[in-house]
A and B are shown apart, each in its own frame.
Chain A
Amino acid sequence: MVDVRSGLGEALPPPEVEDVELYHPHSWWTRYVFSQDAKIIAIQYATTAIAIGMVALVLSWLMRLQLGFPDTFQLVDAEAYYQFITMHGMIMVIYLLTALFLGGFGNYLIPLMVGARDMVFPYANMLSYWIYLLAVLVLVASFFAPGGPTGAGWTLYPPQALLSGTPGGKDWGIILMLSSLIIFIIGFTMGGLNYVVTVLQGRARGMTLMRMPLTVWGIFTATVMALLAFPALFVACVMMLFDRLLGTSFFMPAIVEMGEQLPYGGGSPILFQHLFWFFGHPEVYIVALPAFGIVSDLISTHARKNIFGYRMMVWAIVIIGGLSFVVWAHHMYVSGMNPYFGFFFATTTLIIAVPTAIKVYNWVLTLWRGNIHLTLPMLFALAFIVTFVNGGLTGLFLGNVVVDVPLSDTMFVVAHFHMVMGVAPILVIFGAIYHWYPKITGRMLDETLGQIHFWITFIGAYGIFFPMHYLGLIGVPRRYYELGETAFVPDSVHTLNAFISIMALIVGAAQIVLLFNLVWSLRHGREAGGNPWRATTLEWQTPETPPPHGNWGKELPVVYRWAYDYSVPGAPEDFIPQNQPAPSRVSHEAAS
């Protein structure tokens, strides 16, 4: 079965990865705090992202209490509601998901999976984290600034984002938000350059692109997209800061606010929307592609079967990445832009469904005739497929321009994007945590706590967001502090809202189980050994677990095969690590 076409019989190519002079920490501070080791930076990124994510989770509780029981609690007023909704959205999308997937998993996994000692620019990598932390702190500062954080919605649409009818519009809120985003983008660019160049230049000998695990493909493509898309947000933020602080009119038309003429004129709110969504849509895939990659590896490893259609999976990632730059205006079908754009953007949007669907088929076809171990990572992967398919299919409603007209700006949209880029990627993050925790700490996470966490999270999240689509179908608009008396809304809707809120509280509380498990298992978890899942990829083949600085001891690994040699017929075990050489050369020469 093994057809060796390239390289056999030739001398080993010279090592192409220089064993560069490693950064050697000299003190506790440089080892654990201002560390240049990608693995430490990854943990710093992940901890910060999860911490700020918990803030966003608590905000969502408060919002759900308001929506589910509008007259009971009175915890939040309208101003606070819009501030919470804005901060919840922005934190979850940028400061949690983007930072955790790229800064967290990217930093930890890329060097290990491609067989490098570290990122190529460790110093910039360290700076990237500290700048990210600064961005988070600036964001958090807005909670304590006069007037509070901005309540403009995470889309920050002008003109309302800069006016007094919006919390924080004329105060510090919007200024701190825009500054924080600008800082984040600068920090991200430093990290992003590392992820891309490490994949380009830092791969171990033999690690061709087509031998890379899909996790690396996903993170790599997402980073390239992020590097090209974030400048759009950067430009939009700078221009908006000019409008807010220096009185320019980039986005601000002539406005009469509460009877008073403002000194703006001629600006175009739609220009902002174009810039925002030129970033905003690729952002969806910046979050989704790493999830696609990671889940492919989880499924393959735990079903003990090679990923089905690896080549298609790679092509699909690249095609989705490319197409996602020409679909941005599907967020703007009812924005008042030239209506003829609708034809183009609906078509491109629905075309993206095809490579995405192929990825889904290949995941389930990997299960077909597999040897499925129902471990926690596998359970989360299955849950991901369900929620992602559900959320992806409702995307076909919203992407199809005319269907979007009645559904846009309703709870249908909220349900859709929470399912597809909230629940689904976060389930992958959980699966990935259960999968790689043994490598990061050397111990397994507790299985029972994990099961409790999984079932509540999966069923609960589905129970929150599946019925929510139907609120939108009735016509309940999103971003309503309270629905009040609305003629077309039956009373049963309020019951459904209360149900959703209770589910949200339960699902949120279940995350405490995970946090407890993460801390508890650090000390009390079962010893994992180097390769508890019997996986093929390089990160499981390190000489020590957890891997020390430099990852590989004296010699860098050499890669002899692709990342998915599971259950190869005739092999003694049901997996062959990527750095295991081919069976003896002589027998092959004899065979050929």
Chain B
Amino acid sequence: MAVVVILVLLALGSVLFHVLSPWWWTPIASNWNYIDNTIIITFWITGIAFVAVVLFMAYCVFRFRHRPGNTADYEPENRRLESWLATGTTLGVAAMLAPGLFVWHQFITVPEGAAEVEVVGQQWLWNFRLPGADGKLGTTDARDVTPDNPLGLNRNDAASLDDVIVEAGELHLPVGKPVKVLLRSVDVLHDFYVPEFRAKMDMVPGMITYFWFTPTRTGTFEVLCAELCGVGHPQMRGTVVVDTEDDYRAWLAEQQTFSQLTASSDGDSTATAVAAATAQSEAP
């Protein structure tokens, strides 16, 4: 009998925990409240199913527990009941899947005119790159990575020269404008994850992945890495600041472009350049 009480308490307790506990998702800061809504739908459907199954089970145990003289029914199957249940389940599943696929379609369809921003992961920090005045990001290759070109930009690509580079700093984004975040890594898998934006995607060395979103409120948000990338994985943090349009422009004006960066590093000791050259020649 204890088991009946425990089963009931467990079903109701889970629901109460869900309703009363202080642990809930962070306030959203992007356009993806569709995702939150789909989760809410899923919570309702699965919650009802869970409570129904557990309470029904508790009732069965209570009502049909063994007592002297009891015998069980002999009922091999009941096709009608089974098909009703299967149909009901199919409908429930469809009610979750349909909005899910609908929102996924939005998620992978980048709106035209979305501004491109590149995030480059490396063990264990975040770099960012924004297109310069030409509005285009230059091409890159991990083979081109050197100490004075940590993001591996192609020096022969004219589009690269005016690209704005933010090394291990903050990324600023203007509020209300859709952004296509291009993701790249120069060493291992990483995952650009800001809980408030809801979106995330792995960064794969040798590939460029992407997701898009529109920041909907200003503020400062913490970037975490969500794909195991070695012992420094939990320390791999960064910051995204969502600014008003004016603040964003002011920030952008302070940033250095690729050509400015390389020009300043030309004055460095030749030792780094030599080291970089040997490092490159060793790579086949």
Contacts and interface: CB of A to CB of B under 8 A. Distances in A.
A–B contact with Cβ pairs below 8 Å: the answer is yes
Interface of A: 78-79, 82, 151-153, 155, 157, 159-160, 163, 165-167, 253-263, 265-270, 303-306, 308-312, 334-336, 339-340, 342-343, 346-347, 350-351, 353-354, 357-358, 360-362, 364-365, 367-374, 379, 382, 385-386, 389-390, 393-394, 396-397, 400-403, 405-410, 459, 462, 466-467, 470-471, 473-475, 477, 479-484, 486-488, 490, 492-493, 496, 564, 566-569, 574
B263 interface: no
A401 B200 CA distance: 12
Given A394-B46, A400-B97, A408-B200, A490 B72 contact: no
B252 interface: no
B141 interface: yes
Interface size class, chain B: 35 or more
A335 B226 contact: no
B273 interface: no
A261 B96 contact: no
A468 to B, nearest CB: 10
B101 interface: yes
Interface stretch (B127-135, B171-179, B203-211, B243-251): B203-211
Interface stretch (B159-167, B231-239, B253-261): B231-239
Interface in B196-237: 196, 198-207, 209, 220-222, 224-235
B26 interface: yes
Q: Which of B200, B231, B235 has the most C-beta atoms of chain A within 10 angstroms of its own C-beta?
A: B231
A266 to B, nearest CB: 7
Contact of B46 (A153, A368, A396): A396
A390 B50 contact: yes
Contact of B202 (A82, A304, A334, A410): A334
A473 B198 CA distance: 10
A372 B62 CA distance: 9
Contacts of A342: 104, 108
Given A358-B82, A403-B42, A82 B191 contact: no
B71 interface: yes
B74 A159 contact: no
A482 B188 contact: no
A574 B74 CA distance: 10
Contacts of B123: 165, 257-258
Nearest to A349: B97
A389 B52 CA distance: 11
Closest 5 CB pairs of A and B: A253-B206, A475-B195, A165-B230, A336-B209, A261-B283
Q: Which of B71, B209, B282, B284 has the most C-beta atoms of chain A within 10 angstroms of its own C-beta?
A: B71
Contact of A254 (B39, B57, B107, B206): B206
A269 B206 contact: yes
B142 A253 contact: yes
Given A370-B72, A389-B53, A263 B97 contact: no
A343 B24 CA distance: 28
Contact of A256 (B75, B103, B152): B152
Contacts of B101: 343, 346-347, 401-402
Contacts of B232: 78, 165
Contact of B57 (A364, A409, A466): A364
B71 A254 contact: no
Contacts of B114: none
Nearest to B100: A400
Contacts of B193: 409, 475, 477
16 contacts: A78-B234, A254-B141, A259-B279, A261-B282, A263-B283, A336-B209, A346-B97, A357-B86, A369-B73, A374-B65, A385-B57, A390-B50, A396-B45, A397-B42, A405-B200, A406-B32
B112 interface: no
B31 interface: no
B77 interface: yes
B14 interface: yes
Given A152-B228, A475-B195, A336 B204 contact: yes
Contacts of A153: 228
Contacts of A357: 49, 85-86, 89
B82 A312 contact: yes
Contact of B90 (A155, A354, A370): A354
A157 B268 CA distance: 38
B113 interface: no
Contacts of B14: 390, 466
B262 interface: no
A163 B228 contact: no
B267 interface: no
Contacts of B72: 303-305, 369-371, 566-567, 574
A260 B97 contact: no
Given A163-B187, A262-B283, A475 B25 contact: yes
Nearest to B229: A160
